[in-house]
Amino acid sequence: MNRPLLQMALDTYDLPSALAPLQKAHHHIDIIEAGTILCLAEGMHAVRILRSLFPDKILLADVRIAEAGSIISKMAYDAGADWVSVVSGAAPSSFEVVLAEAQSRRKDMQIELSDGWTWEMAQRWADMGVQQVIFKRSRDLEAQGKLSWGQQDFEQIQRLSEMGFKVTVTGGVKPADIPLFAGIPVHIFIAGRAIVKADNPEAAAKEFQDTISQTFDTI
Amino acid sequence: MNRPLLQMALDTYDLPSALAPLQKAHHHIDIIEAGTILCLAEGMHAVRILRSLFPDKILLADVRIAEAGSIISKMAYDAGADWVSVVSGAAPSSFEVVLAEAQSRRKDMQIELSDGWTWEMAQRWADMGVQQVIFKRSRDLEAQGKLSWGQQDFEQIQRLSEMGFKVTVTGGVKPADIPLFAGIPVHIFIAGRAIVKADNPEAAAKEFQDTISQTFDTI
């Protein structure tokens, strides 16, 4: 099994607050996420700056496209994003236009599985050629106090993977959660505040990276 | 019946492209919308600039909140927005936190009725104290070539109004469409490209305004 990648989500209210921890942690992460909050706060300027600072990292603009997919994806790709996000509740035509835009540029898109997604929708996306989905712990379960990841999550990730998707996992992931995913085909783990708000962002990112290696690397 | 207000939606790729037509048209409009595309392109900077230029207009930040409602609404209100938008598919808790934030500041929020909204959801929002919804022509019907507004739209707007909502109407509205709404309780009409891309944005906005007056003013 491939070792999952580590994505650092930057969801700060301004760019400087994102750049300070990123500059410390970047050696230990694979993917930089310009989060929804940062994109709304600073606009595509944030994406352009991140691209200029880290030309070799994968850069995701978490613009959560629901409509106007062609325009928003073009804007993000032009600013330097490799990937953009589309919400699962988007208009059906949005998936197609964003995917076409991505493919024409050899870039990619991710569908964020928000409350209300179904396996039937997922099958349509797979048939359409969508490669990546973002799996979040159910908010309802979180609200019920189910604070850790469970069998139901792992089965869904497994099934998404069997459908052909590369699965990004998000939802307050901490290093201590990573070993729970041993044997589960996770493509990417997202860490946000756990790195951005850490006293030592470099050490926090390294801890994620080391835990991922220990959990997924086999001899 | 009150005369509906006219909202100019600014969905350009940058702020200058929005400001040029706005500066010409602003005498004839009631509400300025910093559109999703503009917010993502320029960040909350766009909202701050619009607020500084037009301190007396109602200003909507169309941030389409799906999550992180508290943070995003605070950010938009702090930048000077009077209203923010929340998508109908947002997490249930999002409506409550954004509404609470709005009420604490004497501002407001609008729920955008995206594909998949139900009357049951609308009743919950009404019970919660939500005042405003944004009604769009069904994309499915549009895709079927049903290009104008029809009886089904008017009945839904009427029913939303009877539930207590002030209803904003959007979806490629042209001046020629306005008379179709005679007698229908519309709170706001949104015009976007029809003004922004007009050769003469002032004349285009005035035409909307005049048509609204002719359709809704009674002696």
Burial class (CB in 10 A: 0-12, 13-18, 19+), B61: buried
**Is residue B18 pLDDT above 80, yes or no?**
yes
Say if residue B218's pLDDT is above 90.
no
Contacts of B143 in chain A (CB under 8 A): 93
**pLDDT tens-place string over residues B95-143:** 999 999 999 999 999 999 987 899 999 999 999 999 999 999 865 555 5
Q: Please provide the average confidence, as pLDDT, over all residues in chain B.
A: 93
Rounded mean pLDDT, A182-210: 97
Look at residue A141 in the predicted model and tell me its pLDDT: 57
pLDDT at res. B187? 98
A187: distance to nearest CA of chain B, Å?
Answer: 23
The residues pairing with A5 across neighbouring beta strands, listed in sequence order, are A188
Give the residue-averaged pLDDT of B29-52: 98
* Closest Cβ opposite residue B72 in set A40, A68, A143: A40
The Cα A99–Cα A115 span in angstroms is: 22
| Gyration radius (Cα) of chain B, Å | 17
Q: Which pair of structure tokens corresponds to residue B69?
A: 């409602």
DSSP B22: H
- Note whether A71 contacts B: Cβ–Cβ < 8 A: yes
ipTM score of complex: 0.89
Q: What share of chain B is helix, strand, coil (3-state, %, to 5)?
A: 50, 20, 30
pLDDT-derived band at B147, boundaries 50, 70, 90? low
Distance of CA A25 to the CA centre of its chain: 17
**Closest by Cβ to B13, choosing from A39, A42, A75:** A75
Tens digit of each residue's pLDDT (9 = 90 or more) over A85-102:
999 988 888 899 999 999
Q: Which residue has the higher pLDDT, B56 or B150?
A: B56
Residue A15's alpha-carbon distances to A18, A27, A59, B14, in angstroms, are: 5, 19, 15, 19
Mean pLDDT of B145-166: 90
Q: How many helices (H) and strands (E) does chain B have?
A: 10, 8
Average pLDDT, stretch A150-171? 96
The answer to whether A192 and A9 are in contact (CB under 8 A) is yes
Tell me whether B40 touches chain A (CB under 8 Å): yes
Residue A89: its pLDDT value, please? 87
What is the model's pTM? 0.92
Q: What pLDDT digit, counting tens, does each position of A110-153 carry?
A: 999 987 899 999 999 999 999 999 999 865 555 566 667 889 99
User: How confident is the model over B19-39, as pLDDT tens digits?
Assistant: 999 999 999 999 999 999 999
Q: What is the pLDDT of residue A144?
A: 61
**Secondary element (H or E) of residue A50:** helix A44-53
- Structural domains in chain A, CATH included, are 5-216 (3.20.20.70)
Euclidean distance between CA atoms B216 and B213, whole angstroms: 5
Chain B residue with CA closest to A43: the answer is B43
Task: Please give the pLDDT value at position A119.
Answer: 97
d(CA B49, CA B34): 10
Taking the C-alpha atoms of residue B58 and residue A157, their distance in angstroms, rounded to an integer, is: 45
